[in-house]
Structure 1
Amino acid sequence: MRNFWDTIRERFRDYPSQLAVVRKIISLGLSVVPGPDGSPRVTCDNIEVRTAAIAQALGVDRRVVAKALRRIIEDPELRSFFGALRPTTNLSMASSKLGLGVIRIIPTSASHPGIIAGVSRVIADFGISIRQVIVDDPELVENPTALIVTDGPVPPEVIPKIRKVQGVEAVTIL
């Protein structure tokens, strides 16, 4: 079965700067949709993000962003995918202000199945509820990790148990 990342790489194969734009749009969960006049619009939920702001953030000419967006809108498969993207909240950096705990998991391999299931089981065994799990996409991040936000502080006794989960290389309580 073909991975959609293969499709994205194929469509932007000759345009590395545009591919960088596409990767950032995906990593942020921004949608690319046709505007009322058919021209591409980038939105964060229903808030429009200016092409110039994306270009400035990535250090590319705004025409690179415009061409990437046009390529997306003109390709039905890409348009369908990018139109379905949505941003998500990441509570990990604000967790201490909310009285939440955070565990960072570094996997031996991001493609190893069952890591999150095993870690979740350990956390549940300690009577701790999970509020949020955020996992890096290995296509977007060189060294992917998982952040697990819990309903309360995590006791240090959890660490050795999580380290025993198959596929876990390292664990940190943040």
Structure 2
Amino acid sequence: MWDQLQKEFSRTPSQAEIAKYMLEIGIRQEENKLFFDKVAISHSQVAEALGKDKRVVAATVKTIKANKKLYRIFSKLQPTCNLINMANSMGWGVICIELDDPNMPGTLGRISTKLGEMKISIRQTQCPATACDILYVITDNPITGDVIEGLKGVRNVKTIKLFT
């Protein structure tokens, strides 16, 4: 998705960085205000988080508001719970799968089927909004070498890494 939106910020790399961050964590824009779910956040807070000047955030908000396509997207963003970093603490597994072609239909289905055949339940899948050739799969059980070997034969799977 970021590939398509990045073009709108091609002449303003600092604004692109702000917009990418908003997309990654789900900061929604309503008019000229920013929200993390129902919590209003200031332009200064976003700027501080990224080491930018708050005027860059304000300019990004203005750019988004002026562009119907961008505003339709950024006005509907929602934060989501990402289980990747805490999965290990829960005794779950996380696999990071790099895909050959992120647009190939059925890849998630093939991965899910293969894991199901190995009696492994999927708790969550995560595809970063800014890098859709990567798929994270969080499972109810720790991942063994057999699981990784089993997934290597799935069509469109380029590489598999264990996320720890």
The answer to whether TM tops 0.5 is: yes
Aligned residue pairs total 163
Give, in angstroms, the shift of residue 149 of structure 1.
Answer: 0.6
Give, in angstroms, the shift of residue 69 of structure 1.
Answer: 0.5
Question: What is the letter of the counterpart of residue 125 of structure 1?
Answer: E
CA 98–7 in structure 1, closer or farther in 2 if over 3 Å, else same: closer
Question: What is the letter of the counterpart of residue 122 of structure 2?
Answer: I
1:3-82 → structure 2 map (5 Å cutoff):
6=4, 9-10=7-8, 12-34=9-31, 40-82=32-74
Match of 2:155 in 1: 166
Give, in angstroms, the shift of residue 116 of structure 1.
Answer: 1.6
Unmatched 5+ stretches in structure 1: 35-39
Match of 2:86 in 1: 94
Give, in angstroms, the shift of residue 7 of structure 1.
Answer: 5.8
Please give the TM-score of this superposition, normalised by the length of structure 2: 0.86
1:107-118 → structure 2 map (5 Å cutoff):
107-118=99-110
- The answer to whether the Cα contact below 8 Å between 2:2 and 2:20 also exists between their aligned partners in 1 is no
SS of structure 2 residue aligned to 1:153: coil
- The answer to whether the Cα contact below 8 Å between 1:31 and 1:85 also exists between their aligned partners in 2 is yes
% identical equivalent positions: 27
CA 127–22 in structure 1, closer or farther in 2 if over 3 Å, else same: same
Question: What is the letter of the counterpart of residue 146 of structure 2?
Answer: E
Distance in 2, matches of 1:136 and 1:113, equals 17
1:117-132 → structure 2 map (5 Å cutoff):
117-132=109-124
SS of structure 2 residue aligned to 1:42: strand
CA 95–25 in structure 1, closer or farther in 2 if over 3 Å, else same: same
Distance in 2, matches of 1:163 and 1:63, equals 47
User: Which of structures 1 and 2 has the larger relative contact order (alpha carbons within 8 angstroms, sep 6+)?
Assistant: 2
Distance in 2, matches of 1:134 and 1:4, equals 15
SS of structure 2 residue aligned to 1:152: coil
SS of structure 1 residue aligned to 2:87: helix
Unmatched 5+ stretches in structure 2: none
Give, in angstroms, the shift of residue 8 of structure 1.
Answer: 5.6
Match of 1:85 in 2: 77
SS of structure 1 residue aligned to 2:119: coil
- The answer to whether the Cα contact below 8 Å between 1:9 and 1:19 also exists between their aligned partners in 2 is no
Give, in angstroms, the shift of residue 163 of structure 1.
Answer: 0.2
Per-residue Cα deviation, 1:80-133 (whole angstroms, up to 9, x for no partner): 211101111111111122222211112223333332221111101112211100
Distance in 1, matches of 2:22 and 2:58, equals 13
Question: What is the letter of the counterpart of residue 81 of structure 1?
Answer: I
